Structure 1
Amino acid sequence: MDALARHLAHLHAWLLPWRCLLCGDAGGDGLDLCHACAAELPRNTSCCARCALPLPRAAATCGRCQRKPPPWDAAWAPFRYGWPLDRLEARYKFGRDLAAGRTLARLWRCVPPPLARPTLILPVPLHRSRLRQRGYNQALELARPLGRALGVPVRHDGLLRVRATEAQTELDAAARRRNVRGAFALREGRVLPAHVVLLDDVMTTGATLAECARVLKRAGVARVEVWALARAPAPRQRPL
């Protein structure tokens, strides 16, 4: 960090001290999170290499990916979707809390990607009606600072959401797949490189990312990876 950057950081800390968005205590390390809350963030260190599904112990691929591999080539999700990250994500995505979004973006930038650097990052697009309603694309706002940190360009207009879909939140896995079928398309005339990352904020079943990956594969992209800030665990099976 150069002298000007250090000076600006000290000035920010004096004028607008960092405050934990979760408990209200003083923030630490240039984050709106205290050290205690930051330590509780669920890291996704043991997961499937193909779909990033959290696993109880390290494994190359989970059973589902062995039976039916997804249409992408690899996945990276540095966090598990659980307390307290899920609180920050909900505030950012549904509560228009941009401070929570900045905190999530900085957390992501601090984790080095385990995969080879891509040529291009494509955030999962929102339909124009959802974009008007929310005011911003949460995936794009996470992708921009990550792309700058990695030196990888981010293109917000490579993929289009050509059909409005229901919110995925309350749908089961099968309904999610039906909901997004045919909902995405490549912008006409767009030429993509051989190594592309699809980026989203949270991966639950992977239905949305899978549909986007199929579009890219059909367009001739050789390697498609999916990156998400957080990966939801597999739903618990009901006892018989």
Structure 2
Amino acid sequence: MWHLLKNGLQRLLPQPCLLCGQTNSRSLCGECERSLPRLDQHRWRCAQCSIPLASDAPLCGHCVRQPPAFSQCCIPYEYSHPLDFLIHQFKYRRQLSSGKQLAQLLLQHCQQATRPDFVVPVPMHWRKRWQRGFNQSELLAYPVAHGLKLPVVNALQRRQHGHSQKGLSRRERQGNLRRAFEITPKYRPLLKGAHVALIDDVVTTTATARCLSELLIKAGAARVDVWALARTPDH
């Protein structure tokens, strides 16, 4: 009851927009939401990893040369201003209100996606989770799963801390991820023949998505899709 009352009050009471600060009934005003850099503004995108393309082609060169284990990506935005500000505030400034809004944006987009059996958040090593205070992929996964009436299954775990992926090339990221992840043993039977949606905040080089989707497929998953908020353009 208190949860419903709280949500009702949040809808009725004025609150500042997370981007422009103007008071309105939503945490992101309509004008600022329309200013977010949508991926569909690009005429051509890779059908598998969603990266914007310079010409009309079904797949990008990387997906042609090294096909990923995941089937497709469901990603609404490009990782650029002002979306990158909201993600930074969420991940590094612990602004959970931004995280809540980002989850709603992802939910809106994923409602049109092929329905999976369950969602799996990208895991975080316990040490990094302790430092940050939360796993941003989990905080995105639960509201999205709740809105779609899907279970969240923590079928993956990170066993090695490793180095940050930020600023690394595709080759460096892939090397950094080797042997870093594993299937959570108790969920292995659940993966047999399952359609899985892997949830993350940003897809940069697809190194993490490739590594984890390959693990899931090898464990018996029939299909893996990647759901994320943003895709970093290929520079």
Partner SS for 2:68 = coil
Which segment is superposed worse, 185-194 or 147-156? 185-194
- 5+ unaligned residues in a row in structure 2: which ranges? none
Q: For the aligned residues, what is the CA RMSD?
A: 2.0
| Deviation of the 1:67 alpha carbon | 2.6
Task: Tell me the amino acid that sits aligned with residue 204 of structure 1.
Answer: T
Match of 1:196 in 2: 196
Q: Given the alignment of the two structures, is residue 234 of structure 1 paired with residue 234 of structure 2, yes or no?
A: yes
Q: So what's the TM-score if we normalise by structure 2?
A: 0.89
| Deviation of the 1:106 alpha carbon | 1.3
Match of 1:185 in 2: 182
| Deviation of the 1:154 alpha carbon | 0.7
| Identity among equivalent pairs (%) | 40
Q: So what's the TM-score if we normalise by structure 1?
A: 0.87
Match of 1:76 in 2: 74
Task: Tell me the amino acid that sits aligned with residue 195 of structure 1.
Answer: H
| Deviation of the 1:140 alpha carbon | 0.5
Structure 1 pair 44–217 and aligned structure 2 pair: CA distance change class (3 A): same
Q: Given the alignment of the two structures, is residue 163 of structure 1 paired with residue 160 of structure 2, yes or no?
A: yes
| Deviation of the 1:55 alpha carbon | 3.0
Which segment is superposed worse, 60-69 or 91-100? 60-69
Confirm or deny: 8 A CA contact 1:18 1:33 kept in the other structure.
no
Confirm or deny: 8 A CA contact 1:161 1:184 kept in the other structure.
yes
Structure 1 pair 77–21 and aligned structure 2 pair: CA distance change class (3 A): same
Confirm or deny: 8 A CA contact 1:76 1:113 kept in the other structure.
no
Q: Deviations over 1:95-151 (max 9, x none)?
A: 111011011111122224443100011000000000101111100100101011111
Match of 2:24 in 1: 27
Task: Tell me the amino acid that sits aligned with residue 53 of structure 2.
Answer: L
Task: Tell me the amino acid that sits aligned with residue 234 of structure 1.
Answer: D
Q: Given the alignment of the two structures, is residue 85 of structure 1 paired with residue 83 of structure 2, yes or no?
A: yes
Greater helix proportion: 2
- 5+ unaligned residues in a row in structure 1: which ranges? 236-240
Partner SS for 1:110 = helix
Structure 1 CA distance, aligned partners of 2:19 and 2:12? 21
Structure 2 CA distance, aligned partners of 1:228 and 1:197? 10
| Deviation of the 1:33 alpha carbon | 1.6
Which segment is superposed worse, 49-58 or 199-208? 49-58
Structure 2 CA distance, aligned partners of 1:115 and 1:12? 29
| Deviation of the 1:223 alpha carbon | 0.7
Structure 1 pair 196–80 and aligned structure 2 pair: CA distance change class (3 A): same
Structure 2 CA distance, aligned partners of 1:39 and 1:205? 26
Q: Deviations over 1:154-205 (max 9, x none)?
A: 113x111011021111211111111111111011242214211111000000
State the number of aligned residues. Answer: 227
